[in-house]
A and B are shown apart, each in its own frame.
Chain A
Amino acid sequence: RKEVEQDPGPFNVPEGATVAFNCTYSNSASQSFFWYRQDCRKEPKLLMSVYSSGNEDGRFTAQLNRASQYISLLIRDSKLSDSATYLCVVRILTGGGNKLTFGTGTQLKVEL
C-alpha cells in the first residue's frame, strides 16, 4: 500500500465549477500535511498547508481528518489557470528530520 494515495484523475471540469480532491495516508505518525501544485514539466510548488481545524486561502479550502487519515482540497469557482496536478504531501518527523512523502498527484483540467 502506498503511504499517500490519491485518485490520479484526470478531473475535467467546466470553468466556474467546484471540484474536490481527496487523499489518504497510511502512517498515523504523520505530523504535517500539505497540498502542492505542479504544472506540466515544472517543479512542485507549495499551494497550502493543511491544519486540523481546516483552512481557507481564497478559493481553496483544505481539510484534515486525523481519525480517518484523510485530507481534502476544495477548489471553488475553478479557473482555467487552475489546470495542473495537485500533490498531496505528508510529513513525518524522524531522527533524520523533515522528510516529505508525496502522493502521485491528481490531475485537474478546467475547460471553457
Chain B
Amino acid sequence: NAGVTQTPKFRVLKTGQSMTLLCAQDMNHEYMYWYRQDPGMGLRLIHYSVGEGTTAKGEVPDGYNVSRLKKQNFLLGLESAAPSQTSVYFCASSYEKTGRANYGYTFGSGTRLTVV
C-alpha cells in the first residue's frame, strides 16, 4: 500500500519554464490538497479538490493550476515558473465524511523545486 506518491522528488527549473507535479493516492480518498512549505512560513494551501472533477483555490493559488481528472490523481502545474516558487511542495489526501471531525491528512514525501 503506497499511500500518497509524489513525482518528481527534485527538480530545477529555469525562470519561465513550465512543469507539472503529479500526486497519486491509492487509499480511495475523496479530498486531495497541494501545499507549499517555506522556511518560517509553515505549510500554506495552494489548491485543493473535494472530489473527481472539482478543484478550488487555497491560500496562495496565484501562479499555479490544478486538475483532478481521476479520483486518485491530483496534478499541480506551474505555467511560467518564477524564483518565488522555489519551495518544497507537499501533496496530501484525506477521507472525509460529514460530521467526522478528526480525520488527519496523509502526506506525500514532497517535491523539492528550485527555480533559477
A residues sitting closer than 8 Å to B (CB atoms) are: 4, 8, 31-32, 34, 36, 41-46, 49, 87, 89, 91, 93, 96-100, 102-105
* Of listed B35, B48, B94, B104, residue having the most chain A CB within 10 A: B104
| B50 located at the interface, meaning its Cβ lies under 8 Å from any Cβ of chain A in the complex | yes
Q: How far is the CA of A79 from the CA of B35 in the complex (A)?
A: 30
Complex contact A43–B109 (CB within 8 A): yes
> In the complex, which range does the number of interface residues on chain B fall in?
20 to 34
Interface of A is mostly: strand
Find the B residue at minimum CB distance from A2.
B42
A43 touches B96 (CB 8 A): no
> B101: shortest Cβ distance to chain A, in Å?
5
Query: What chain B residues lie within 8 Å of A41 (beta carbons)?
Result: 110
Complex CA gap A97/B102 in Å reads: 13
Residues of B within 8 A of A31 (CB): 101
Known: A44-B90, A98-B96. A34 touches B104 (CB 8 A): yes
Contacts of B41 in A (CB 8 A): 104
Question: Given A96-B48, A98-B94, A99-B45, A49 and B102 touching (CB < 8 A)?
Answer: yes
A32 near B43: Cβ-Cβ < 8 Å: no
Beta-carbon contacts under 8 Å, B65-116 to A: 90, 94, 96, 101-105, 107-110
